[in-house]
Amino acid sequence: MGLEEKLPSGFLLSTVEQVAGWARRSSVWPATFGLACCAIEMMATGDPRHDFSRWGMERASGSPRQADLMIVAGRVSQKMGPVLRQIYDQMAEPKWVIAMGVCASSGGMFNNYAIVQGVDHIVPVDIYLPGCPPRPEMLLDAILKLHDKIQNTKMGAHRRKEIEELERAKLRALPLLGQSDVPRIEPPRVTQS
Amino acid sequence: MTPCTGKEGLAFFGCDPWWLILGKGVVIFAFLLLSVLMCVWAERRVIGRMQLRPGPNRAGPFGLLQPLADGIKGALKEDIVPRKVDKFIFFLAPVLAATPALISFAIIPLGPVVSIAGHKTPLQLTDLPVAVLLVLAMSSVGVYGVVLAGWASRSPYALLGGLRSSAQVISYEIAMGLSFVAVFLYAGSLSTSQIVSAQAGGGTASFFGLFTFDTPSWNAIVLFPSFVIYVFTMMGESNRIPFDLPEGEGELVAGYHTEYSSLKFLMFYLAEYINMVTLSALATTLFLGGWRAPAPISTVWPGANSGWWPLLWFLGKLVLFIFFFIWLRGSLPRVRYDQLMKLGWKVLMPVSLGWILLVATLRALRNNGADTSAYLVVAGAVVLALLAGSFVWDAIKGPPPSAADEPEPERPAEPEPAGAFPVPPLDAPHYHGSHHGKEVPSGLH
């Protein structure tokens, strides 16, 4: 998070992006952080049958300062919210979040006042992983998709350009409802004959 | 004609041309960094296999690039300096931890005198009359890195980790120093190259003048108690399982490096593994005959101890020792802190002192030309007589009184049932096991 962000756009930056992406993807240290039943499945992902150490992930980091990935494994109660946010803030950039299970993704079955309805109310989420709880294979799939995202993350000038493009695309996108100037397509009338 | 011609012993070191000394230093530095990468890889793979899983295998062939990926990723991470830390010491601590670790390896003999570009030079950066003390001194300076990291972080976890580490390393360093004393007595020197040459061949001992036999040459066999004590203290010095309390995740988050990220954390990581390599190399030098070929090889092949071959034996012993470290990590749990201190102060140190006394006495007797085997036999006879005496004493005294013979202690009266509610007996027998004799009245425990 220093010099590599200030490189000029072009061949050098894309090479650095590739190397950094490979290193970051190959060494994602998860923060030691489990909340509920999903945490049991997360631990099972490290067992001999599934073994996320194949991607260098068995080195769980006790301190958030050295962690790269926060797997929010379980429902987040309102009381846990600030704690979770603090741990996220203590992690060093670049950092990623997987919302594991429906509870972390959207509140799941806990549709009540005590549970945060999706951890994306508190921290930015990279991968939403459904399931109640998701099996270790599903978590591995989420981790592999995150690897793809990490590998293709842009840096420096490229990243700024990407953000700009995404912003423009968002502005251009049409709202889904209430488009007054778009001719309304009537659904075909069903007639009884 | 080189400046080294005709020089002997310690004077042979340091008279090489400057480029050769610089080259040796650079090669040792590169070797240490490379060995850290290999150690990290080997550790994760070996522990993986011990736990019936493959371990890292995606980054490069056999996962060999895994430590490199860790390093690049760590270096590219954000370097967080918390607002309240003592900035200067916070920067100084990782440097203080890593630098001494790199220095210690300079005095490790990697091989005999070889010829490099026409210069005869030993495969060792330097040697001193007090070379082994340099290693102890450097590991003491390394503790400053850990303590200052804990202090500067202004975090309770880091502070506790740093204090634990300093207490642990200082306690174990005393026992470690004591375990070296017997080696010094045998070698008659503190210089590593002379300790290795002292292990070249065993002496001969005679049994009452009846027959003579060769004693083994390795200090690990001759001074077995010292070797065992060194292995224990080695674990304590390197802050690794089973003595990795300074960074016990269960209690202290990550110990003294809780607040460190990015390159500063990597320097602590580096220091830990370099210390592991250095301690293994020191064990090889002091106890396993250094770069000398193990017995069956040197017996059948006289050339095994000359030229570049000894580098192979040295590396082989080093790798075996590092594997031993990893093996322990894969098998042992973490001990409690009081157990650690008890082992260090109440077991390792007294045993060390007693052993040194024994070794020194034997050496002094032998130096005076006495026939040590007679003394050994007398000492053995005394020990046997003491054992037999204690056996006879036990037989005369009879078995110790068992708990069943003691009078039944009076039980307190059953408490009155409280009101109309059925109350379970407050001191049910099954709380203390079903055996009648174990039953104790409440209030005694």
Tens digits of per-residue pLDDT, A47-94? 899 988 899 888 888 888 889 999 999 899 999 999 999 999 999 888
Note the pLDDT tens digit of each residue in B23-34.
Answer: 888 999 999 999
Residues of B in contact with A63 (CB under 8 A): 253-254, 257-260
Rounded Cα–Cα distance for residues B110 and B125 (Å): 9
With an 8 Å Cβ cutoff, are A68 and B253 in contact? no
Residues of A in contact with B330 (CB under 8 A): none
- Domain for residue B204, yes or no? yes
Note the pLDDT tens digit of each residue in B383-431.
Answer: 999 999 988 988 888 776 666 666 666 666 665 655 666 666 666 555 5
- Domain for residue B232, yes or no? yes
Q: For residue B438, what are its two tokens?
A: 């174990």
Note the pLDDT tens digit of each residue in B61-112.
Answer: 888 999 999 999 988 888 888 888 888 999 999 999 889 888 988 888 888 8
Q: Are A110 and B98 in contact (CB under 8 A)?
A: no
Confidence of residue A180 (pLDDT cuts 50, 70, 90): low
Least confident range from B46-60, B105-119, B243-257, B425-439: namely B425-439
Exposed / middle / buried, residue A76 (Cβ in 10 Å: 0-12, 13-18, 19+): buried
Q: What is the pLDDT of residue B94?
A: 92
Q: What is the pLDDT of residue B412?
A: 62
Q: Please check the confidence at residue B445 and state whether its pLDDT lies above 50.
A: no
- Domain for residue B40, yes or no? no
- Domain for residue B113, yes or no? yes
With an 8 Å Cβ cutoff, are A22 and B249 in contact? no
Query: Which segments of chain A does DSSP mark as H helices, in order?
Result: 11-26, 37-44, 80-90, 101-106, 136-151, 156-172
Who among A23, A32, A92 is closest to B69 (CB)?
A: A23
Considering only residues 253 to 282 of chain B, which have any Cβ-Cβ distance to chain A shorter than 8 Å? 253-254, 257-262, 265
Shortest Cα–Cα distance, B246 to chain A (Å)? 13
| A-B C-beta contacts closer than 8 Å | 111
With an 8 Å Cβ cutoff, are A56 and B59 in contact? yes
A66: contact with B, CB 8 A cutoff: yes
- Domain for residue B286, yes or no? yes
With an 8 Å Cβ cutoff, are A59 and B44 in contact? yes
- Domain for residue B251, yes or no? yes
Mean pLDDT throughout B139-168?
A: 88
Domain limits for position B87: 80-392
B46: contact with A, CB 8 A cutoff: no
Q: Please check the confidence at residue A17 and state whether its pLDDT lies above 70.
A: yes
Note the pLDDT tens digit of each residue in B270-290.
Answer: 988 999 999 999 999 998 888
Q: What is the pLDDT of residue B1?
A: 42
With an 8 Å Cβ cutoff, are A63 and B254 in contact? yes
- Domain for residue B48, yes or no? no
Which residue of chain A comes nearest to B60, CA vs CA? A26
B408: contact with A, CB 8 A cutoff: no
Single pTM value for the model: 0.79
Which residue of chain B comes nearest to A47, CA vs CA? B53
User: How many domains does chain B fold into?
Assistant: 1
Considering only residues 144 to 163 of chain A, which have any Cβ-Cβ distance to chain B shorter than 8 Å? none
Amino acid at the residue A8: P
- Domain for residue B434, yes or no? no
With an 8 Å Cβ cutoff, are B265 and A65 in contact? yes
A53: contact with B, CB 8 A cutoff: yes
Shortest Cα–Cα distance, B338 to chain A (Å)? 23
Who among A56, A66, A93 is closest to B69 (CB)?
A: A56
Rounded Cα–Cα distance for residues B139 and B275 (Å): 8
Least confident range from A17-21, B191-195, B291-295, B319-323: namely B291-295
Residues of A in contact with B77 (CB under 8 A): 1, 68, 92-94
Rounded Cα–Cα distance for residues B364 and B184 (Å): 14
With an 8 Å Cβ cutoff, are A65 and B68 in contact? no
Mean pLDDT throughout A92-119?
A: 90
Instruction: Tell me what percent of the residues of chain A surpass a pLDDT of 70.
Output: 90
Note the pLDDT tens digit of each residue in B173-231.
Answer: 889 999 999 889 888 888 888 888 888 776 666 555 666 666 677 887 788 889 999 99
With an 8 Å Cβ cutoff, are A26 and B257 in contact? no
Mean pLDDT of chain B: 82
A86: contact with B, CB 8 A cutoff: no
Number of other CB atoms surrounding residue B296 within 10 Å: 8
Residues of A in contact with B65 (CB under 8 A): 26
With an 8 Å Cβ cutoff, are A27 and B261 in contact? no
Q: Please check the confidence at residue B339 and state whether its pLDDT lies above 60.
A: yes
